[in-house]
Copies of this chain bind each other. A is one copy, B any other.
Amino acid sequence: MVKVGIINVTGYAGVELARFLSRHPDAEIVSVTGRSAAGQKVSDVFPHLAGEVADMTITPEVTESVDVVFSALPQVESAKVCVPFVRNGTKVIDISADFRLHDPAVYQQWYKAEHPAPDLLETSVYGLTELDREGIAGADVVANPGCYPTGAILGLAPVVKAGLVKDQIIVDAKSGVSGAGRGLSLGTHFSEVNENVYAYGIDGHRHLPEITQELARQRDGFDPKVIFLPHLIPMTRGILDSIYCDFVDGAFSGPEQAGKAIKELYRDFYKGERFVKVVNASPQTKQTWGNNDCLIYPTVDKRTGRLMVFCALDNLVKGAAGQAIQNMNLMFGLPEAEGLDFIAIYP
């Protein structure tokens, strides 16, 4: 049994980790932390949780010996808490953004804080499972990807890797409100969000640099120029990334041929994947509600010949806790889908 600590179990990613891990056949939650809720039982904060995890007492720090910690703390804070674990030889899976950007200067620019352990930025592995299984399996620190980047990168990797698209890329994303976490703000106040939709982060959202960094990694010399624009949607869960880009000149003989070739390329690329599914029609976020799937639909606009890719996933599962557990399974030599074999809840 892998002994697990969950840091900040009281956030939405934290409680989602608890949901999955409490049913994981080869993992055992042995310590859960929280700040304001320290001293309470997990079931005091989340009455819906049942079983052993419900009876655990939330502590300010990890109190037990663990094989791996998941951190669901906010950025900046998370790095501070994670670093000692890494130094001690405990595996770390950080759901915050603190180990995603390999360049400390870029980190500082976007997160307005000096990184406490720049050396770890070099060795941490970006945990987009399907794109770097080997790296993740051997990592000490896995930087679990952001919810938006997970879809954006998975949706673009096949064509970027194949050198098929130009560097100008648009990612128009739509997200449910849970992506903003359990912390209070006017922007997540029910009456403000309900019956409303708008773009935010127009001057630059923090998920942009990791999209750019990871796309660049897919192909030598590729230097993507990404517009990433998220929109807030009046729903709790779900992310849809709508991606628009252009093929390099001469890549295909025309839209129709491009459409066929692209579908085949994506199917091949994700062949055999358990959680990344290339689908035949516009994917709906509801089709991934509560499970670890990422649905991808690539298509070519028949009038303009441009590539459009749509990626749907649950921001708290494949976009956070689910992918984190997928990564844990890899790191500990367990079957990758263990503890994650759930069907989406519909309707």
Secondary structure class of chain A's binding surface, majority of residues: loop
Query: Number of A interface residues, CB 8 Å?
Result: 81
A142-175 contacts to B, CB under 8 A, are: 168, 170, 172, 174
The stretch among A90-98, A99-107, A129-137, A231-239 that forms the contact with chain B is A231-239
- Copies of this protein in the complex: 4
Is residue A15 contacting chain B, with contact meaning CB distance below 8 A? yes
Q: Are B184 and A189 in contact (CB under 8 A)?
A: yes
**Which residues of chain B are within 8 angstroms of A198 by Cβ–Cβ distance?**
240, 282-285, 310, 312
19 contacts between A and B (CB under 8 A): A19-B346, A47-B279, A49-B343, A170-B244, A178-B347, A184-B186, A188-B191, A190-B234, A191-B347, A195-B195, A197-B284, A198-B240, A200-B282, A225-B303, A226-B303, A226-B304, A229-B242, A234-B235, A289-B345
Q: Quick one: which of B185, B189, B238 contacts A196, CB cutoff 8 A?
A: B238
Q: What are the 3 closest A-B residue pairs judged by CB atoms, nearest first?
A: A48-B287, A196-B286, A191-B347
In the complex, the answer to whether A238 meets B195 with C-beta atoms within 8 Å is: yes
* A window 173-229: CB within 8 A of B: 174, 176-178, 182, 184-186, 188-200, 202-204, 225-227, 229
Known: A197-B238, A198-B310, A237-B347; 20 extra A-B contacts, CB below 8 A, are A23-B341, A23-B342, A47-B280, A47-B281, A49-B343, A50-B293, A50-B343, A170-B244, A172-B172, A188-B191, A190-B194, A190-B236, A192-B347, A194-B195, A195-B236, A195-B285, A196-B238, A200-B282, A231-B240, A234-B235
